[in-house]
Amino acid sequence: MADALFCSDGARLVPADFARGPWAPDALHGGPVAALLARAVESCEAPEPVHVARLTVELLRPVPVAPLEVHASVVRPGRKVQLVDASVTAGEVEVASARALRIRVHAPGAPAGHGLAETDDGPVPGVDASAPPGPDAPRSADEPLSPYRGFHSEGAELRFVEGRFAKPGPAMVWVRLAVPVVDDETPSPLQRVAAAADFGNGVSSVLDFARYVFINPDLTVYLRRPARGEWIGLQASTRLGAPGVGTAESVLWDTAGPIGRSLQGLVVEHRS
């Protein structure tokens, strides 16, 4: 059995079965794809220490359970601000892309509040100032979304504090990668966040999974500091708008406090 979401095969990366998503057994979950793109972004060198303040992922079409190639390049170099583009291709078809905003990290001794070691972990506007229960708190039981192995059931460990997959409405869930993203590499904080943030629409659905699909063709994550530790928390909620359209928004946490937000656009349809 593969012990990573993706295993190297020369220049290609081969996904494991437990990287699959809940919508179809032949397509990957957005979380592993987002983590793979985050890894590509991090492979691009920077002249000074930088922090990825924003990562936007475009899931251009279903990403197949097939060998993939990943490429990234700096498209806007700079000492203070940089843009990095990354893409995933299956064969000759681009199936996903990302753009990352990297901002220079001030060196130690910079004015208070402007260094990673002095980041404010205070409350996020619009969010209860008290921290949610951690991943070790009692959690609700849950049922698998699909009858086959997938990222939501085996590739990641989910611990619900509030809500669950089968219960419509907002949720608070902690997510931890069960295996590395690629080979035996230790996942970076950004990879952990990217993988977890894509669960927002699934854990906070307002519609019956058996009757509707609510697929996100994109994911944008804003981070004010890197995550600490293995567990990423999502306070997630979904709202429906124009017919066939929705959004899912999550406040992101680690066990030290809030770290940012994520947003997903949703395509909402009856199952065929």
Over 80: is that where the pLDDT of 115 sits?
A: no
Residue ranges and CATH numbers for the domains of the chain are 6-108+136-270 (2.40.160.210)
pLDDT (tens digit per residue) in 195-208: 999 999 999 999 98
Distance of CA 143 to the CA centre of its chain: 21
Length of the chain: 272
What pLDDT score does 2 carry? 62
- Say what the pLDDT of residue 116 is: 39
Residue 52 has what pLDDT?
98
pLDDT at 166: 76
For residue 138, name the pLDDT band (cuts at 50, 70, 90): low
DSSP assignment of the chain? --SSSEEEETTEEEEPGGGB-SS-TTBB-HHHHHHHHHHHHHTS--SS-EEEEEEEEEE-SPPBSS-BEEEEEEEE--SSEEEEEEEEEETTEEEEEEEEEEEEPPPTTSSTTSSGGG----PPTTS-SSPPP-TTS-------SSSS--IIIIIEEEEEEEEETTEEEEEEEEEEESS-SBTTPPPPHHHHHHHHHTTHHHHT-SS-TTTEEEE-SEEEEEESS---SS-EEEEEEEEE-STTEEEEEEEEEETTEEEEEEEEEEEEEE--
Q: What is the pLDDT of residue 142?
A: 63
Q: Indicate the range of 43-47, 79-83, 86-90, 108-112 predicted with least confidence.
A: 108-112
Q: What is the mean pLDDT of residues 153-161?
A: 92
Residue with tokens 């066939």: 244
Asked whether residue 84 carries a pLDDT value surpassing 60, the answer given is yes
Q: 205-234: per-residue pLDDT in tens? A: 999 888 999 999 999 999 999 999 999 999
Q: For 246-257, write each residue's pLDDT tens digit.
A: 999 999 999 999
Q: Which band of pLDDT confidence, cut at 50, 70 and 90, is reported for residue 133?
A: confident
Alpha-carbon gap, residue 6 to 125, rounded angstroms? 37
Whether the CB-CB separation of 192 and 227 falls below 8 Å is answered with: yes
Contact 182, 13 (CB under 8 A): yes
Q: What is the pLDDT of residue 227?
A: 98
pLDDT of 118 over the 70 cut: no
Q: How far apart are CA 32 and CA 70, in angstroms?
A: 13
Q: Mean of the pLDDT values across residues 110-132?
A: 50
Neighbours of 213 (CB within 10 A): 16
Q: Which residue has the higher pLDDT, 110 or 250?
A: 250
